[in-house]
């Protein structure tokens, strides 16, 4: 794939992840049943905000990388922007399961559903479905990041020169009528 389409795809995948995380925020905050005000739900909302912050920064860096591959291409600027994008993405990957649905919160959510059922079951199923969608978008964004790094590595490889020296040596001999000793040069 060429440089510009690769970074266009990266921005699209990062944007799709941003949209899905926005859906997660809506699913948690707007679709929850209003009969209880729970700390559990507040913690999940706070977690989504943290992850959305990382994703917003990753998306902004992806856009910067996309700009840097335009004419005239600046591979150093592209590389730096891609590194920031990847760093923020890694923070998102680390924080997503820990801030939104760690094991303890998952257990508390299941207890809530058992106790209150009905609307809470529907809400929990919606949140879990959107989380699964987020996982798919996260995988796609990760793949797009990899393709970005591959394109940069290939570009750098095309612009570099490799020199391979071999030591073959050379032997020079004089005509037979002259008595010059043969010498080897290397």
From CA 22, how far away is CA 24, in angstroms rounded? 5
Angle (CA) 89-43-94 rounded to 5° is: 20
Query: Region 23-30: what's the mean pLDDT?
Result: 91
Q: Which two tokens stand for residue 18?
A: 């941003």
CATH number reported for the structural domain that contains residue 34 in this entry: 1.20.120.230
Which long-range CB contacts under 8 A does 124-131 form with residues at least 24 apart? 126/27, 126/31, 127/24, 127/27, 127/28, 127/44, 130/20, 130/23, 130/24, 130/27, 131/24, 131/100, 131/101
* pLDDT at 19 (0 to 100): 97
What is the CB neighbour count within 10 angstroms for residue 139? 12
Number of domains in the chain: 1
The more confident residue out of 180 and 127 is 127
Which DSSP letter does residue 164 get?
-
Q: In which domain, by residue range, is 95 found?
A: 3-185
What's the pLDDT tens digit per position in 99-145? 887 777 778 778 878 888 788 888 888 988 999 999 999 999 999 99
What is the CB neighbour count within 10 angstroms for residue 88? 21
* Cβ-Cβ contacts under 8 Å for 165 (sequence gap 6 or more): none
pLDDT of residue 185 exceeding 60, the answer is: no
Which region among 57-66, 150-159, 164-173 has the lowest average model confidence (pLDDT)? 164-173
169: left (phi over 0), alpha (psi -120 to 50) or beta: left
From CA 69, how far away is CA 75, in angstroms rounded? 7
Residue of 131, 122, 143, 95 whose CA lies nearest to 21: 131
Q: Which pLDDT band, with edges at 50, 70 and 90, does 182 fall under?
A: low
What's the pLDDT tens digit per position in 37-92? 678 888 889 999 999 999 999 999 999 999 999 999 999 999 999 999 999 999 99
């Amino acid at each position: 794939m060429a440089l510009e389409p690769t970074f266009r795809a990266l921005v699209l995948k990062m944007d799709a992840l941003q949209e899905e995380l926005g859906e997660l925020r809506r699913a948690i905050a707007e679709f929850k049943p209003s009969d209880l005000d729970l700390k559990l739900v507040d913690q999940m909302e706070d977690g989504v905000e943290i992850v959305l912050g990382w994703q917003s920064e990753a998306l902004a860096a992806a856009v910067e990388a996309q700009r840097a591959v335009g004419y005239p291409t600046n591979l150093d600027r592209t590389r730096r922007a891609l590194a920031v994008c990847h760093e923020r993405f890694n923070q998102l990957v680390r924080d997503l399961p820990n801030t939104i649905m760690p094991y303890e919160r998952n257990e508390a959510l299941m207890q809530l559903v058992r106790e209150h059922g009905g609307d809470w079951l529907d809400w929990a199923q919606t949140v879990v479905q959107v989380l699964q969608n987020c996982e798919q978008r996260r995988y796609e964004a990760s793949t797009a990041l990899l393709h970005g790094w591959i394109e940069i590595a290939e570009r750098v490889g095309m612009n570099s020169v490799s020199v391979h020296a071999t030591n073959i040596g050379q032997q020079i001999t004089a005509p037979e009528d002259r008595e010059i000793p043969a010498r080897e040069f290397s």
